[in-house]
Structure 1
Amino acid sequence: MSGIVGVRQSDPSSKILNCVLQAYPELNIRWLLTGWGEMLEERASDVGFQKLQTQECAECAHKDETVNNLKDLVESLKQDKEDLRDRVKSLKADKQRLLDSIDSATGENSTGKRNSA
């Protein structure tokens, strides 16, 4: 231990480096050996998580846009439905007026029986 903590007479052995890396797997071996680079290793799982997080954010934005588009479509369809209901009511009224007009012109009611007027 005195060779590691105190004044070093030589470089740490591979056995010591291996023990350090096993105890602290997040250490960057290049940094440990040379002092170059980042002290902590950017692990593949961290990179994968960051990529996944980025993809999820992009997917969320896409999903949010899709949800908003679908909400707009639902509102538009509700309005179309109301417009069609109004149109059906209007057409039923027109039909009844036509039937009444035919009845009065032919002297029969819509059941085919003659009016007794």
Structure 2
Amino acid sequence: MRRPIRLGLLALVLGAAGQAGDVTAGARIVAHGTSSGALPCMACHGVGLRGNAAIGAPALAGLPVAATLAALDAIAAGRIGHNYVMKNNAAALTPAERRAVADYLATRRPDN
């Protein structure tokens, strides 16, 4: 009887841990993009992710995870934004990749 309980608890722990993104994968996507067509975030938002006013790319460093996820979801769905490059980038990211990017951006300091 104890084994099913342990397995159930393990599943709960692993499931909760799975909610967070892979920060290392997020850093890789931000710097290099993905094989599915997403360009590197740094290409427009800058190496320090402080944004690029000349092209309308906002600062990303230090954004809360929920804000980044909501923005990526809305951009991919076409609910916000008018930049087709950003729409294609957001749409090219899987939910797990979006979470990884969001988690990574939240670790960055805006003044780095």
TM-score by length of 2: 0.26
- Structure 1 or 2, whichever has the larger Rg, is 1
TM-score by length of 1: 0.25
Q: Which has the higher helix share?
A: 1
Q: Say which structure, 1 or 2, has more relative contact order (CA 8 Å, 6+ apart).
A: 2
